[in-house]
């Protein structure tokens, strides 16, 4: 799982969903849900999250992209 | 084919509510779906709204939706110098956004539109390759299909259905600001919007204080989401607006003693509108189409204005029974020739501002007057730029894009 959502920090602002290129995070009811099968490990959600509520664990192959 | 409705609108925010009100008034069968459990919730917004555009639309916002009137603005440079611009007239409002969104949708329902909350639209229905409806689930229960010859995405930033329909409604990190905001109390304000600039305060953005009733204020920050201003969870570098905002409050004489009543946040678009607003049987309106002011990320007024334009095209399409991209593009054309021009000018201003250093801000804010500031906000750059460049010619490099 490349990301973990910290629900006690999350303010349901859907910022992550707005920048996710593949629709791997969405608001379902009152909670953000993550669909790992759609995630491409780009880290955009974690970078954009204003509440620092997403823990991003880069994949080996995605490391370069994240460090640019 | 027999359809369930004339038009399906996804999203009951300001653009969806505006379009559905106008269409219902003209007798169309309009169905609006909103994924939120309660319309208007959660608020992710500074709640500011300029008066001019709303008065022009003939909309009379009731008292319970307005927290307080705004009578101007105060802009504060990194070294603390201020430009204050005051007006006897009401220049805008800080809304009770939750009440406002709900009220706006209620007006549409009064005219005959139908709305259904807590309903997620998760896919398109296609018939012979043509968009002919949506798949929805109400409160997470069994999905079902609803059909109409025209689907409107009024979804806001996420725009997931618009993306499914093939629109490029995805912002890069560079073209969004990541925002954190508190509703605070007590704050002695003068009914002015306060904006604090500076790379220490808020890189590629600013801190805002929007006054509210009863000595309350929305105190928020937006910074470029592409910036790597700190370490985030998991050890990556990224944008840290909350940390900047907390530091600003800690250094502010009054706010550091104030209470926090609410935390909210969001990601706002400060980039260009998407490259196309219409396809066969589908239109995108409002923030989803990035019809947003690139200076302050405000989308309410533009969403309502765009809603009026979209509704006018939809009425003609309904009459002609023609929902082709070609026909629906009339709305896009009207938009790009009207509000689109203003948005383009503001995008230019944003790009110039993001290259300014603190020293540039200090000099510019000392040199220009409140009248100049008004001109800048109205897109009239020549006078203010001439004044600044006369005293400091090297700033021409920074500012030339505004006058060429």
Half-sphere exposure of B61 (CA within 13 A, CB side): 27
Q: What is the ipTM for the molecules in this complex?
A: 0.88
User: Residue B125 has what pLDDT?
Assistant: 98
- Chosen from A7, A11, A18 to mutate, greatest number of chain B CBs within 10 A: A18
CB contact under 8 A, B160 and A26: yes
CB-nearest to A55 from B42, B178, B234 is B234
The structural domains of chain A, with segments of one domain joined by +, span 3-60
Q: How many CB pairs under 8 A join A and B?
A: 115
Domains and CATH numbers, chain B: 7-68+96-170+272-342 (3.50.50.60), 173-269 (3.30.9.10), 346-403 (no CATH)
What is the C-alpha separation between B169 and A45, in angstroms, rounded? 16
User: pLDDT tens across B109-155, in order?
Assistant: 999 999 999 999 999 999 999 999 999 999 889 999 999 999 999 99
Low-confidence ranges of chain A (pLDDT < 50): 63-68
Chain A residue with Cα closest to B156: A18
Instruction: Give B242-292 as a 3 state SS string.
Output: HHHHHHHHHCCCCHHHCEEEEEEEEEEECCCCCCCCEECCEEECHHHHCCC
| SS3 of residue B226 by DSSP | coil
User: Residue A61 has what pLDDT?
Assistant: 55
Residue B50 has pLDDT above 70, yes or no: yes
Instruction: Give Dmax over CA atoms of chain B in angstroms.
Output: 69
CB contact under 8 A, A54 and B233: yes
User: Residue A68 has what pLDDT?
Assistant: 38
Strands B130-138 and B144-147: antiparallel
Which strand ranges, in their side-by-side order, compose the sheet holding B144-147?
B119-127, B130-138, B144-147
Helix (H) or strand (E) holding B296: none
Phi, psi of B198 (to 5 degrees): 140, 145
Residues in B lying within 8 Å of A, measured between beta carbons: 35, 37, 42, 44, 118, 120, 139-140, 157-160, 163, 170-173, 176, 178-180, 225-226, 228, 232-234, 236-242, 263-267
CB contact under 8 A, B158 and A18: yes
**Structure letter (DSSP) for residue B15:** H
Instruction: Judge: domain A3-60, CATH 3.40.225.10.
Output: no
What is the C-alpha separation between B250 and B277, in angstroms, rounded? 44
Q: Which residue has the tokens 């002695």?
A: B188
Contacts of A19 in chain B (CB under 8 A): 170-173, 176, 225, 267
Residue B16 has pLDDT above 90, yes or no: yes
CB contact under 8 A, A19 and B173: yes
């Amino acid at each position: 799982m490349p990301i973990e959502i910290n629900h006690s920090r999350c303010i349901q602002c859907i910022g992550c969903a707005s920048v996710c290129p593949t629709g791997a995070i969405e608001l379902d009811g009152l909670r953000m849900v993550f669909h790992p099968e759609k995630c491409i490990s780009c880290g955009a959600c974690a970078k954009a999250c204003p509440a620092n509520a997403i823990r991003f664990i880069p994949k080996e192959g995605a490391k370069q992209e994240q460090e640019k | 084919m027999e359809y369930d409705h004339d038009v399906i609108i996804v999203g009951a925010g300001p653009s969806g509510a505006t379009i559905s009100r106008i269409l219902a008034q003209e007798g169309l069968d309009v169905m609006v779906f909103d994924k939120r459990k309660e319309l208007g919730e959660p608020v992710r917004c500074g709640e500011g709204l300029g008066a001019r555009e709303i008065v022009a639309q003939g909309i009379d916002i009731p008292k319970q939706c307005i927290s307080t009137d705004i009578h101007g603005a105060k802009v504060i440079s990194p070294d603390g110098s201020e430009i204050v611009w005051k007006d006897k007239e009401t220049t805008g409002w800080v809304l009770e956004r939750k009440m406002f969104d709900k009220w706006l949708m209620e007006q549409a329902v009064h005219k005959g539109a139908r709305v259904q909350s807590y309903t997620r639209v998760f896919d398109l229905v296609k018939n012979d390759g043509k968009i002919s409806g949506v798949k929805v689930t109400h409160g997470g229960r069994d999905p079902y299909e609803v059909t109409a010859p025209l689907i409107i995405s009024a979804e806001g930033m996420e725009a997931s259905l618009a993306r499914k329909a093939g629109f490029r409604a995805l912002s890069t990190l560079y073209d969004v600001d990541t925002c954190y905001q508190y509703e605070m109390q007590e704050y002695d304000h003068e009914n002015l919007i306060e904006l604090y600039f500076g790379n220490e305060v808020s890189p590629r953005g600013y801190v805002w204080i929007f006054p509210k009733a009863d000595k309350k204020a929305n105190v928020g920050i937006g910074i470029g989401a592409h910036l790597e201003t700190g370490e985030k969870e998991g050890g990556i570098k990224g944008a840290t607006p909350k940390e900047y905002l907390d530091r600003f409050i800690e250094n502010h004489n009054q706010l550091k003693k104030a209470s926090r009543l609410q935390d909210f946040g969001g990601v706002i678009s400060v980039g260009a509108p998407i490259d196309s607003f219409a396809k066969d049987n589908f239109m995108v309106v409002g923030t989803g189409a990035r019809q947003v002011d690139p200076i302050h990320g405000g989308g309410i007024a533009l969403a309502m204005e765009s809603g009026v334009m979209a509704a006018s095209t939809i009425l003609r399409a309904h009459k002609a029974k023609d929902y082709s991209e070609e026909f629906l593009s009339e709305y896009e054309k009207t938009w790009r020739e009207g509000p689109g021009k203003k948005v383009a000018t503001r995008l230019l201003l944003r790009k110039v501002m993001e290259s300014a250093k603190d020293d540039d801000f200090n000099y510019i804010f000392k040199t220009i007057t409140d009248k100049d500031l008004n001109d800048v906000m109205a897109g009239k750059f020549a006078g203010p730029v001439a004044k600044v460049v006369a005293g400091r010619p090297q700033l021409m490099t920074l500012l030339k894009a505004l006058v060429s």
